[in-house]
Structure 1
C-alpha cells in the first residue's frame, strides 16, 4: 500500500472513531437515545422503504402517449371507485401508468396459490412437500419464501404482459413496446417486493400493510383537503359529522379489542408436578421455592388480527378479475352486482367470514402443537396427552375461529354500512374499513416497538444496579 492509501485508511479509521465517540457523548447526554437506538434504526429503515415504495408512482412508463391514454383508458381512480378503494392500493391502480402499476398483486397471487394448495390439499404431492417444509423450521420457511418469490415473478410476467398489451394501442413507438413495458412492470413489482422484505426484516410492522397504509394515508390527506368544501356543499349539521367520527372511532376501538381477545389454556409440566409430589412424600424440611407465574397457551380469537380483512378485501376484488380472464362482459356484470351499494356490505361480510374461518394451515396446527407439548413433557391441564390433547386443541381452535369470523364479518358489515350512511348524509365517505386496517398496522408496529425497547431498558436497569453495588462496596 502506498503512502496515499495508508493516509486514507488512517483518516477513515479516525473518522469512524470520532463518530463513535460523538454517539457515546450524545447517548450520555440523552439516555433515551441509547434505549431507543434499535427502534430508531428500524424506524429509519421503515421510512426508507416507504419512500422507495412511493417514488415509483411518479415514474411513468416510457413510450406512451399520455394524452391519448388519459382520454381513452379508464383511469385508476374510476377503477377504485367501482371496485372499492382498497383494490386500488392492492394492485397499484392509483397510478395505472407508472412502473408500480402491478403493485404487490403478483406476490399476493403467489401467496394465495400456496395457501390454496394447503387448504385444498391438492395436488397431494405438492401439499405433502409444502407441509414438510412448513414443519422444517427456518430452512423450510426460507424454501417456502423462495417458492413464493418465484411464483410472484411468474405472475408479474403474465400480468405485465397483459397490461403491456392493453397499453400497446397508445404507444408512441410499437417496436418491442410490449417486451420493454413488461420488463419495466416486472422490475417495479420486484422493487416493491424488495421494499416489503427489507421492512419485514429490519423495519417496523408488516411490509404489505405498510404499503397499503401509505396509500390510504395519502388518500386521507386529499380527503382532508376537500373536507371543508364538501361539508359546505352538503350543508350537513355539525352533529352529523360528530356522529360519523364517533362511529369510526368506535369501529377502530372494537377492532383493536377483538384482536386482543384470547383464551388461555393452563399448562401442566409433568416432571415438575412429579417433583412436587415427591417433596410432599418426604418428611424433611425443604426450602420454599419461589412461586412461578402460571404458564398457559394463548389462543387468540383472531390470530391474524386485521390481516384477515386485508385478505378478504383482496379475495373480494379478485373475483371479478378472475372472471375477466374468461369473459370480460361477465366480469363487468359480476363487478356491478358485487359492488352495488345494496349487495356489497353483505357479500363482503360473507367473504370475510369464510376467509377467517378457513384453516389455511392444512389442519395440522393442533397436531404440531400437541407434538411440541409432548416433546417438552407438558400438557393442557385436565386433558390427557396425545390424541386427546390434539382433539381438544382442534375443537377449541375451531370454536374460536368461528367466533372470530363472526366478529370480523360483523365489523366489516358495520364499516360498509357506516360508509354508506356517511355518503348519503354527508356526501362523502370516511372509509372506516381503511381506518381499521391502519389501526391494525399501528398496533402491530407498537407491539414490535415495545419488544425492541424491553431489552435496552433491562440492560440499563442492570447497569444502574451494578453502579449502586460499586458505590455500596466503596462506602463499606
Structure 2
C-alpha cells in the first residue's frame, strides 16, 4: 500500500526518522507520566467517583477519556492539557478586542513569542483554579494517613493542587517541544494519544456487554458503520478545496518577458481542522466542571443544560463549532491582505477588478465554503450522540473524540507528506 511505502521512505530519511522517534519518545513520556499518582489520594475511591456514583462522575469520565486514563489513576497528568486549551481560546479572543495583542500577532515571530508567554502564564493560573476545584471535588479520596489532622488535611490539599498544576505545566512544555522538534502539533498529539490509549478499554467493555447479552450484534455493527462513515467523511472534507484562478500579466524587463502564468489560490473547505471541536468542547465543559465541584441546585441545573450529549448541550456545541470555524478562518486568512499581495505581484482574478472587489470576492467564497465545513463538523459531532440514544449504548469514545483522533491523524500525515515532497518522494495522496 502507498501509505506504508511512504512511511518506509520517510523512515529512511535521517532527519524525518529523528523527528518521528523524538515525537514517539515524548508521547511515551506522557503515557508513563499518566501512571505517576498524586500523593495522598486513594485511586480506588477515585474509580468509584468516576463510575458516576457521586460528584458528577459523568463529567469526570469524559475528562478521563481525554486524559488517557490519567484521571482514573489520579496521576499528575489528571487535568490533561485543558487549561492550556482554555488559555489559548481566551488569548485568541482577546486578540480581536485588544489592539496591542493584535499588533503583536502581526509582528511575526517576536510578537508571537510575547503572546505565547502570556498564554503560558494564563495556563498556570487556570490550572491552579481547576486543580483547586478538583482537589475539593475528590476530597473524599484523600487517604486517612494524610487527613489524620487538620494540618495534614490542608497540606494534602496543597500537595494535590500543586502536583496537578505542575503536571499540566509539564504537558504544555512537552507539547511545545514536540511542535518544535518533532512531527505534528504537540498539544493535539497529546490529546490524540490520550484518546487512542482508551480505545482498547472501550473495545473490551463493548465485547463484555456483547458476551453478557446486554447489547446486540446489530448495535455494535451500527456503531462501527457510523465510525467508518465519520472517518471517510473527515478525509473527504479535509481534502476538499475551492481553487480561485489567478492570472498574472506579462511584463517585459530588459529583453526578457516575465509573467503571463496562470495559477490558483487553494481555499480549504475545513480550514480550521478539528480546532473548533476542541474549543467548543472545552467551553461546554466549564459549567459542568463548576457543577461537579459545588453541589448547588442552580449550578447543577445550568451544568445539566450544557451537558455534552444532551439535546441542549448538542445545540450549543453546534453553535460554538460554527462560530469557532469562522473565527479561526478569519484569523488565518485575511482577504484584504491576500488581494493586496495579488495586486502587488501583478496578478488579478479573471472578471474581478483588483483591490477591494477582489477582497470581497475572496471573502464571499471563504464564507460559503467555511459554512459547509462548519456544518459538516457540527453534524459529525452530533451523529454519535444521536446513535447512542437510538441504540441505547453509551460508549466511552463519542463524536468529539472520534473527530479529534481523525483530524489530528490527517494533519500529522500531511506534515509528513510535506517533508517527503520536499525530498522528492511521493506523498500519501
Structure 2 length-normalised TM = 0.81
Kindly provide the CA deviation profile for residues 337-384 of structure 1, in whole angstroms up to 9, marking residues without a partner as x. 333644444443333223323457569822332333344343433322
Cα distance change on mapping 1:115 and 1:244 into 2, 3 Å: same
**d(CA) in 2 for partners of 1:111 and 1:184?**
22
Gaps of 5+ in 1: 1-30, 122-126, 280-285, 460-476
Cα distance change on mapping 1:35 and 1:362 into 2, 3 Å: closer
Matching residue within 304, 310, 318 for 1:349: 318
Contact 1:100 1:188 survives alignment (8 Å): yes
**2:298 — aligned with what?**
330
Matching residue within 15, 24, 34 for 1:57: 34
RMSD between superposed Cα atoms in Å: 3.6
- Structure 2 residue matching 1:88: 3-state secondary structure: helix
**2:25 — aligned with what?**
48
Contact 2:352 2:358 survives alignment (8 Å): yes
**2:178 — aligned with what?**
199
- Structure 2 residue matching 1:58: 3-state secondary structure: coil
Write the mapping of 1:307-456 to structure 2, written as runs, cut at 5 A: 307-321=275-289, 328-339=296-307, 341-358=310-327, 361=330, 365-422=334-391, 424=392, 428=395, 431-456=398-423
- Structure 2 residue matching 1:295: 3-state secondary structure: strand
Gaps of 5+ in 2: 1-7
Structure 1 length-normalised TM = 0.74
**1:111 — aligned with what?**
88
Cα distance change on mapping 1:458 and 1:253 into 2, 3 Å: closer
- Structure 2 residue matching 1:63: 3-state secondary structure: coil
**d(CA) in 2 for partners of 1:378 and 1:77?**
61
**1:133 — aligned with what?**
104
Write the mapping of 1:2-81 to structure 2, written as runs, cut at 5 A: 32=9, 35-64=12-41, 69-70=45-46, 74-75=49-50
- Structure 1 residue matching 2:242: 3-state secondary structure: strand
**d(CA) in 1 for partners of 2:10 and 2:266?**
34
Could you tell which deviates more after superposition, 338-347 or 94-103?
Answer: 338-347
**d(CA) in 2 for partners of 1:145 and 1:80?**
33
Contact 1:118 1:360 survives alignment (8 Å): no
Post-superposition offset of 1:96: 6.5
Matching residue within 200, 203, 206 for 1:221: 200
Post-superposition offset of 1:111: 0.7
Matching residue within 302, 309, 316 for 2:270: 302
**2:191 — aligned with what?**
212
Cα distance change on mapping 1:437 and 1:226 into 2, 3 Å: same
Aligned residues: 408
Post-superposition offset of 1:197: 0.8
Cα distance change on mapping 1:419 and 1:60 into 2, 3 Å: same
User: Which of the two has higher C-alpha Rg?
Assistant: 1
Cα distance change on mapping 1:274 and 1:52 into 2, 3 Å: same
**d(CA) in 1 for partners of 2:395 and 2:67?**
23
